[in-house]
Structure 1
Amino acid sequence: LTPDRTRTLVRLIKQSTGAIPLEFHAHCNNGLAPFNLLEAVKEGIRIVHTAIPPLANGSSQPSVFNVVNNLGALGYKTLVNVDALKPASEHLTWVARREGLPVGRPHEYDQAWYGHQVPGGMISNLRHQLKLMGKEDMLEEVLAETAQVRAELGYPIMVTPFAQFVGSQAAINVILGERYKEVTDQVIQYALGLWGKEGSDAMDAAVKAKILHRARAREIEKIAYPEPTLEEVRRQYGGADLSDEELLLRFYAGPEFVDALKFAPPRKHYLDARQPLVRLVEELSRKKLAHVFIRKGDFSLTARRGE
């Protein structure tokens, strides 16, 4: 989005939706989300999505503190209790620094985003996956390849699941050093028209032929995909006692993922200066305490237990 495009789209959508409440959701990938959000409010949207630092900015949503300040400067009154959110922001910042996790920073404007259009929720995962393979330095090359793959697939809309199809294939092309040497099953399905004939028909003919000229494509073409009813899906994943929420999780994420959540490691406890002194001393005396992080104003101190 751009501010101009935001104004145009919000006006058209509001004309079509009438009294239905609209919400505005945008990621900060290209640095314009805070501006786009303000334009959406000016056009009448009253519910906007934000995030608490350090989880804001970067490829996330705009900072709630920044948005509240900007809306206030424009004369709008928000229902956000900023003072109640500050302790949460401080705690999350301490956790991020202790665990060596990234902290969201505002992005500079980058015109290239309008070429590949990789969504914010996907860019962080793509960066993480490349890092696990020791190929984080390939990110910019993968993004450039994403723009090319998207064009060759007929410019599919870059939302789930199509954004993942395009991004994953681009990463494979770059990592292997040969374009479409290996192709994901989802891209083959897309070329076969299983995700819609319109997308398949819009593909580059040469690329489509290369994707489908392999044994795996012929195997997938013969698959008769099941179309179970809701009752059949519920029986498959747990029966009548399963809540709708857990049913959706098991269906989309897989039973193994949901079961793994039940065996998560014990919750970690983090000390901070707001805790009573007695509680602080008790925690410091724990034999298994590995390190302590203390912060007050601009001063911070980290103490680690020796080996």
Structure 2
Amino acid sequence: MMSEVKFVDTTLRDGHQSLWAENMTTGMMLPVAKRIDDAGFEAIELISSSHLKKCVRELKEDPWERVRLIAKRVTKTPLRLIAGRVNTFEITPHSVYRLFLERMAANGLRQARISDEWNDLSSWQRKVQFSREIGLDPIVNIIYSVSPKHTDEYFAARTRQAASLPLYRLCLKDPGGLLTPERTRALVPLIFKNSNGIPVELHTHCTTGLGSLCALEAIKLGIKTVNTAIPPLADASSNPSLFNVARNARALGYTPAIDEELLKPVAEHFTFIAKREDFPIGAPVEYDYAQYLHQVPGGMVSNLRHQLRKVGMEEKVGDALEEAGRVRAEFGYPIMVTPLSQFVGSQAAINVIVGERYKEATSRTRSSTARAPGNWPGGCPRNHPSRRCGAK
């Protein structure tokens, strides 16, 4: 018999971030938290810094109370924090970042999945050190992207750098759903080769219609843990469906270490909420090559559509995504992950709404490109209209 396949649940974090624009309330989570805990997940993703702002500004909830209430109900499974930035658009003082981790740990979280938008070693080092000192198990994301600069050697080098740190685990993170089965077959062995024996998990999205297939390819290549969501918060721009991956892994001869029957009422619960609140119900999507052109991640697509709908311009979503591909190339192919995807996506949306490219730019985009020209390899070219991004 082949080996077990284990799962990390993303329903309460990335699932509704990708499909419901983070509009899941604590009250929607609490009735099913115990079932998710009892099902056998390796970890449960619960919160990221963007959820704090969403809770306070729009949902009118206390995000710390969310953590405390869920932690009281989830007693078997480690709760996981996404520990990228505390402030999405500004530099976070190290003391504030550490305090953020300390309070998350004090309120019941046990793991920190650590990101740096540039896959930068110095940032990983600091965040891993803080996590270890506080008592959180650190997981470093190797963030996948597609561009002329994101080569196999790039990912091999970044994996070696991350594996030099005292990690609990590595994660091949594909926020844009850009992995293909071919790239999965190339990258997973490459990452294993350079991982120094550290366990590796996979986090991908279904934005191009290939997420579940890539998860199965990764399992066949030796990945033991896959991030999945429970329908209706799976598929579309979210993560692969737990039920789909588990069923297909079983058909391939693997043993899914999860109680699917226990989770069916969870799917029914969230489907009821989706229909009641008129929230999207995730469904498999057709292959979409356009995703490789703009590379806007699922969570941002959901929020972009939500924000445009609020001002009566939802029909502009397609135009904004197309423009994002052009802006990304002009900015030097940054990885499309928070906050870089927000800089690119917001500039693209502004260009479309205003009707003239780079006539306006947000102060945050201007300050970021001016402050970190070494990180923005394309910068704002001196002879290009995007040079205005650096203007005062």
Same fold (TM over 0.5): yes
Q: Does 1:197 pair with 2:374? A: yes
Indicate conservation of the 8 Å contact 1:60/1:120, yes or no: yes
Aligned to 2:286: 108
- Distance, in Å, in 2 between the alignment partners of 1:60 and 1:88 is 17
Q: In percent, how many aligned pairs have the same letter?
A: 52
Instruction: Write out aligned runs for 1:1-307 (5 A).
Output: 1-192=179-370, 194-199=371-376, 201-205=378-382, 206-212=384-390, 217-218=391-392
**How far is 1:200 from its partner?**
5.0
Q: CA–CA distance in 1 between the matches of 2:289 and 2:381?
A: 25
1:128 alignment partner AA: H
Match of 2:72 in 1: none
Q: How much has 1:185 moved relative to structure 2?
A: 1.9
The residue identity in structure 2 corresponding to 1:197 is G
Which amino acid in structure 2 is aligned with residue 150 of structure 1? R
- Corresponding residue SS for 2:256: coil
Q: Note the C-alpha offset of 1:209.
A: 2.9
**How many Å apart are 1:127 and its aligned residue?**
1.0
Is the 2:234–2:283 contact (alpha carbons within 8 Å) kept by the matching residues of 1? Answer: yes
Letter in 2 for 1:41: I
**Could you say which structure has the higher strand fraction?**
2
The one-letter amino acid of 2:366's match is: I
CA distance in 2, matches of 1:82, 1:9: 30
Contact 1:22 1:46 in 2 (8 A): yes
Is this contact kept in 1: 2:323–2:352, CA < 8 A?
A: yes
Question: Which amino acid in structure 2 is aligned with residue 56 of structure 1?
Answer: A
- CA shift in 2, pair 1:23/1:119, >3 Å: same
Give the alignment's Cα RMSD to 1 decimal: 1.4
* Structure 2 runs not aligned, ≥5 long: 1-178
Residue by residue over 1:220-270, the C-alpha shift from the partner in whole angstroms, topping out at 9 and shown as x without a partner, is: xxxxxxxxxxxxxxxxxxxxxxxxxxxxxxxxxxxxxxxxxxxxxxxxxxx
Distance 1:136 1:209 in 2: 28
| CA displacement 1:15-74 (0-9 Å, x = unmatched) | 111321111001111000001101111111101000001111111111111111110111
State the match for 1:256 in structure 2: none
Highest RCO, 1 vs 2 (Cα 8 Å, sep ≥ 6):
2
- Which residue identity does 1:58 align to in structure 2? A
Segments of 5+ residues of structure 1 without an aligned counterpart are 219-307
SS in 2 for 1:103: coil
Equivalences, count: 213
TM-score normalised by L of structure 1? 0.67
